[in-house]
Amino acid sequence: MSLIPWFRWNEPPPRLSSRSPAEMVLETLMMELVGQMREAERQQRERSNSVRKICTGVDYSWLASTPRSTYDLSPGERLQLEDVCAKIHPSYCGPAILRFRQLLAEQEPEVQEVSGLFRSVLQEVLERMKQEEEAHKLTRQWSLRPRGSLGTFKSRARISPFASDIRTISEDVERDAPRPSRTWSMPEFRAPKAN
């Protein structure tokens, strides 16, 4: 008898997975869809059994074995969903699953409707990703934008404490009104006039 298997206790545990995060997201989301489809099918079966029990008055559920799943995704639909799942960033995988479960709890759909709900949740997540990416681009653009200094402000504007020809929105009303005396403690800022 060999003792080598007994000495493997001190070896480091094997790495969990060498798959990419995108593959893991794809597998996780598709497993969630399949699991929720099975659950919806089970609930649908329970509802039909309870209706049958009410109609006949007899419960034969103990006699029947659990049938195998009858609904499955078509290969084309599965490929489309996998394509959309592959676009989901790993940080959005958890919120997508939570939203999907929330919609399922609210609507209690039939088995055939589950994949449609899943697709709508994935589209929501992709829209949110796109919006957040655009917002991130804008903030990055603003943060990298060169800021004007006081020197450039001085070249664009002159400070003249005694000027009083500022244009205002209500200039026509002010034109007829008597001119108030200017407060001399505050300077007046104005841009140079275009020639």
Mean pLDDT on 183-194: 62
Residue 20 pLDDT:
86
Q: Tell me if 192 is assigned to some domain.
A: no
Q: Tell me if 75 is assigned to some domain.
A: yes
DSSP3 helix / strand / coil % (the chain, rounded to 5)? 60, 0, 35
* d(C-alpha 195, C-alpha 193), whole Å: 6
* d(C-alpha 76, C-alpha 55), whole Å: 39
Residue 114 pLDDT:
92
Q: Tell me if 55 is assigned to some domain.
A: yes
Residue 177 pLDDT:
60
Q: Tell me if 36 is assigned to some domain.
A: yes
Residue 184 has pLDDT above 90, yes or no: no
Q: Tell me if 152 is assigned to some domain.
A: no
Residue 87 pLDDT:
92
* d(C-alpha 169, C-alpha 147), whole Å: 29
Residue 189 has pLDDT above 70, yes or no: no
Q: Tell me if 148 is assigned to some domain.
A: no
Full-model pTM: 0.59
Q: What is the 3-state secondary structure (H, E, C) of 106-117?
A: HHCCCHHHHHHH
Q: How far is CA 3 from CA 6, 7, 109, 113, in A?
A: 5, 7, 56, 56
Range of the domain at 99: 21-61+71-142
pLDDT tens by residue, 102-111? 999 999 898 8
Domain count, the chain: 1
pLDDT tens by residue, 11-42? 665 565 677 888 999 999 999 999 999 999 98
Q: Among candidates 99, 101, 108, 104, which has minimal Cα distance to 127?
A: 99
Do 101 and 36 touch, CB atoms closer than 8 A? yes
Q: Tell me if 109 is assigned to some domain.
A: yes
Mean pLDDT on 58-66: 68
Q: Tell me if 169 is assigned to some domain.
A: no
pLDDT tens by residue, 113-164? 999 999 999 999 999 999 999 998 888 888 776 665 555 555 555 555 555 5
